[in-house]
A and B are shown apart, each in its own frame.
Chain A
Amino acid sequence: GQQLNQSPQSMFIQEGEDVSMNCTSSSIFNTWLWYKQDPGEGPVLLIALYKAGELTSNGRLTAQFGITRKDSFLNISASIPSDVGIYFCAGQSFLDMRFGAGTRLTVKP
């Protein structure tokens, strides 16, 4: 079946630094989603991408739908302590949805 490879697995950064993470797939998806999970909570949707090549921002977050439709990227600029959590990518095609294993982000003040 379709597998998502999300990297890096974890990141330890200093407050104020920029962060990049990505997801790749062996197959094509029609939609890419990025979720964030705060400690002890459920994942919350950050950004949804609907078209290949699409670049979408949500505050300090920017995500892109790869042109091949097999990958997606999430960037966080000027990180702050509340950015701590696990970031999940998700790829969707009709009736199928897959999550990446997550990127665990730690931000040191």
Chain B
Amino acid sequence: DSGVTQTPKHLITATGQRVTLRCSPRSGDLSVYWYQQSLDQGLQFLIQYYNGEERAKGNILERFSAQQFPDLHSELNLSSLELGDSALYFCASSQQRVPPVTGANVLTFGAGSRLTVL
């Protein structure tokens, strides 16, 4: 158990629908990251939050949105789903401080949420 909790583990839905993926970071971690991993692909960075505020944005579609709540859990909302959105969605957390401290900003990943769009 990495300490990062993602729910649901599996989700099957239809095109055009909307889903919400939830992530609870590891205790003490202030940063949350969302990644998308399509079949046999690498990790595509979507978005990062630090202590409730958006810190960095990657290749996140306009149909997708995220937020981090005061208790530091985060939600990734995926709307108007398309077949190509089927993927594993990973949440990761870290202690990254602002401004950054020296040394590695180690990400701890959750087990992922597998989304299947039919």
Residues of A within 8 A of B (CB): 31, 33, 35, 40-45, 48, 50, 88, 90, 92, 94-97, 99-102, 104
| Interface pair B45/A99, CB less than 8 Å apart | yes
Q: Does B45 contact A33, Cβ atoms closer than 8 Å? A: no
Q: Which of B61-69, B70-78, B108-116 contacts A (4 or more CB under 8 A)?
A: B108-116
Identity of the chain B residue whose Cβ is nearest the Cβ of A6 in the assembled complex? B42
Asked if B84 is at the interface (CB within 8 A of a chain A CB), the reply is no
Known A48-B104, A50-B104, A92-B104; contact A99-B43, beta-carbon cutoff 8 A: yes
- In the bound complex, do residue A97 and residue B103 qualify as a contact, i.e. CB atoms below 8 Å apart? no
What's the least CB distance linking A37 to chain B, in Å? 8
Neighbour of A44 across the interface among B2, B40, B42, B56, CB < 8 A: B2
Given the interface contacts A100-B42, A101-B41, does A42 sit within 8 Å of B110 by beta carbon? yes
Chain A minimum-CB-distance residue to B108: A45
B42 contacts A99, CB within 8 Å? Answer: yes
Cα-based distance from A104 to B42 in the complex (angstroms): 10
Closest-CB distance, A72 to chain B (whole angstroms): 13
Residues of chain B within 8 A (CB-CB) of A102 are 42-43
Among B4, B43, B100, B108, the most chain A Cβ lie within 10 Å of the Cβ of B43
